[in-house]
Structure 1
C-alpha cells in the first residue's frame, strides 16, 4: 500500500491519519485535535467548478499533505479533499476520476516558478492533475503511459519528477507535462521521490528495494544506489538544510543517510509495523514516523543528536 499519511509543519505540529480522522498533534500541549473527519458527510463551503456540491462521505484516505496552511487528502476511489487550516469546513472536494482503479496515489502542495501555490495529484488512471488553490480550477492535466504512483516538483518549480508502474522515471516540464528525460536504472516500479534543497539532486525510491540519486546536470547514470533492507522504498524526505535524507521501507525499516558523506554513512531505524509516513520538521531538528498497526500504531519522534557542535545522527 502506498503510504504518505503524515506531515510535520513545525517541530511541535504534526498532522496524521487516525482511523477516519486527520489529527493534529501538538508536542507542546501533548494533545491531539481532530482537524477533519472523513467518515461523516463532507459538504464544501466554496462553490468551484468541478466541486461536488453534494459532498462526499466515508473516504478512505490514501495520501495527504499539509503545507502553507492548506491540507489536501486523496482517497482510494479517486477523491480529493482540500481544507484551509484557518477556515471552518472543507473548501473543495471532487472525484478526480471514475476509473474502476481510481486510487489517488499522491497529493502534494507545490510552487510554480512565479511562486504561486498549486495542488498536484497523481492517480492510477495514468494522469497528473494540477489545481489552483484560490478557485480550485484545474491548471494542468497530463497523461502518461502507465499508472502514476508519485510526483514531486523541483524547488524552483520548473521540473516535475513522474514515477509509476515502469522501470523508468521521467523528468518533465512542470508547466506542460512534456517529458524532458528518462531516468534508467531501477528494476521495478517506483513509489517515492524527493528533491535535495540544492535543486540538482533527485532521489527515487523503487520496489527493487533501492533508492537512487540522480544529478539533473548529468542524467546518463545515477550518482549512487542506496540499498534497503527488505522491501520497497515507499517514502523519501530530505532535511531543509540538505544534511540528511530519510528513506522508509513499507514496513519495519527507515534509513537515514548523511548527505555530506556522499551517502556513505547511514543510520538504520528498526521498528515494528507498517510505516504510515515520515516527515522532518522544517527546522531539521526532528524526524517524525507514523506507524500503522492495529496494536502498536503510534507516532514516533526522533531528535537530532548533537555532539561537540557537530551533528551526528537522529536518535
Structure 2
C-alpha cells in the first residue's frame, strides 16, 4: 500500500489518518482532536463557480498532505477532499475519476513560480491533475503511459517528478506537462520522491529496495544509491534545512541520512509494525513516524539530538 498518512506542521502539531478521520495530535497537550470525518457523506460547504465539487459517500483515505493551512486527502475510489484548517466544513470534494484504476495515490500542495497555490493529484488511471485553490477549478491534466504512484514538485515550482509503474522516473515541465528527462537506473516500480530544499537533488524510492539520488545538473545516471534493509522504499522526506533525509520501508525500518556527509552517515530506526508515513517538523527538531499496525498502532516522535547530530527517541 502507498502510505503518506502523516504530516507535521510544527514540532507540536501532527495530522494523521485514523480510521475514517484525520486527527490533529498536539504533543504539547498530549491529546488528539478530529479535524476531518469522512465516514459519513462529505458535503462541500463552499460553492465555487466552475468547480467540479461533488457530495461524496464515505471515503476511505489513501493519501494526504497538509501545507499552508490546507489539508488535502485522496481516496481509494478516486476522491479528492480539500479542507482549510481554520475553517469548519470541507471546502471542496470531488471524484476525480470513476475508472477501475481510480485510486488517488498521492496528493501535493505547492506554489507555482508566480506564488499561486496549487493542488496536484496522482492517480492509478495514469493521470496527473492540477487544481487551483481559489475556486478549485481544474487547470491541467497530464497523461502518462503507466499508473502514477507519486509526484513531487521542485522547490521553485517549475519541475514535477513523476513516478509510477515503470522502472523510469520522469522529470516534467510543470507548466506544459512536457517530459524533459527520463531517469534510468531503478529496477522496479517507484513509490516515493522528494526534493532537497536547494532544488538540485531529487530522491526517488523504489520497489527494488533502494532510494536513488539524482543531481538535476547531470541526469545521465544517479548520483548515489541508498539501500534499505528489507523492503521497498515507500516514503522519502528531506528536512526543511536539507540536513537530513529520511526514508521508510513498508514496515519496521526507517533510515535517516546526514546529507552533509554525502549520505555516508546514517541512523536506522528499528520499530515494529506497518509504517503509515514519516514527517519532519518544519524546524527539523523532530521526526514523526506513524505506525498503522492494528494491534500496535501509534505515533512515534524522535527528537534531534544536537551533540551527536542524530535523532533521539522519545516514545
Per-residue Cα deviation, 1:31-79 (whole angstroms, up to 9, x for no partner): 10000111012111112334344x1121100000001100000000000
- What does residue 312 of structure 1 align with? 310
- What does residue 292 of structure 2 align with? 292
Per-residue Cα deviation, 1:208-266 (whole angstroms, up to 9, x for no partner): 00000000000011110000011110000001111100000011100000101101110
Is 1:213 matched with 2:217? no
User: TM-score, normalization: structure 2?
Assistant: 0.97
- Name segments (4+ residues, structure 1) moved above 4 Å: none
* 8 Å CA contact 2:56, 2:95 repeated in 1: no
* 8 Å CA contact 2:147, 2:164 repeated in 1: yes
Structure 1 unmatched ranges of 5 or more: none
Matches within 5 A, 1:1-315: 1-48=1-48, 49-53=50-54, 55-307=55-307, 311-315=309-313
Alignment partners' CA distance in 1, 2:128 and 2:53: 20
Alignment partners' CA distance in 2, 1:258 and 1:159: 25
Structure 2 unmatched ranges of 5 or more: none
* 8 Å CA contact 1:151, 1:193 repeated in 2: yes
Alignment partners' CA distance in 2, 1:270 and 1:21: 27
Alignment partners' CA distance in 1, 2:57 and 2:270: 36
Alignment partners' CA distance in 2, 1:40 and 1:226: 42
Alignment partners' CA distance in 1, 2:53 and 2:200: 39
Alignment partners' CA distance in 1, 2:42 and 2:98: 19
Q: CA deviation at 1:150?
A: 0.2
* 8 Å CA contact 1:117, 1:133 repeated in 2: yes
Alignment partners' CA distance in 1, 2:299 and 2:240: 21
Alignment partners' CA distance in 1, 2:40 and 2:53: 15
Q: CA deviation at 1:89?
A: 0.5
* 8 Å CA contact 1:281, 1:287 repeated in 2: yes
Per-residue Cα deviation, 1:257-280 (whole angstroms, up to 9, x for no partner): 010110111000011111000000
* 8 Å CA contact 1:51, 1:94 repeated in 2: yes
Per-residue Cα deviation, 1:91-132 (whole angstroms, up to 9, x for no partner): 100000011110000011011011111000000000000000
Q: CA RMSD in A?
A: 0.9
